[in-house]
Structures are given as structure tokens and as C-alpha cells.
Amino acid sequence: VQSTHDGRQQITICTDRIEHIAATAEANAAQARAQGFVAARQGLVAARAAIAAQRGMRAEDRAEALRDIDEAMAEIETESRSE
């Protein structure tokens, strides 16, 4: 907060405002992180469905791709629960 006292500029630092801004930023970051995990999971679900439906692919290649996607989904699930 800026003011003038005895003709001199005075700045008052309000820690409660700083704490409020920091808390808001932290909440926004947590929300963005959660949304990122949701988007990543949705992308992997869509990719998994597309690969599972791909009959032109060799069965071994399809199985390997599905395993890799399942592993990535598990990693995202674990990561989303941390912190």
C-alpha cells in the first residue's frame, strides 16, 4: 500500500495480501496439474482405443503398443496421486 506521510512516500508491505496471493497461486497450480493429468489420461485412453481397433497391425506389435500405453497410464495414475 502506498501513501504519503510528512511529504514522503511511504510503502507498507501487507503480508496478509502476499499470503493470499501465494495461496491463490498454489491452488491454481494444483488445479492446472490435475487438469493436465486428466488430459493426459484421456489422450492415452483414446490412443489405446485406436490401437486396439487397428486390425491392420501385427498382433504382436499391437499387444506391445497396448502394454506400453497401459504402463504410461499406470505412471500417470501414480504421479497424479503423489504430492
pLDDT of residue 69: 98
- Stretches in the chain below the pLDDT threshold 70: 83
CA distance 15 to 23: 12
CB 44 within 8 A of CB 76: yes
Helix (H) or strand (E) holding 3: strand 2-5
The model's pTM: 0.73
Rounded Cα gap, residues 78 and 33, in angstroms: 13
pLDDT at 28: 98
Q: What is the pLDDT of residue 32?
A: 97
Alpha carbons 76 and 48: distance in angstroms, whole number: 14
Residue carrying the nine cell digits 485406436? 50
Q: What local confidence, expressed as pLDDT, does residue 76 receive?
A: 96
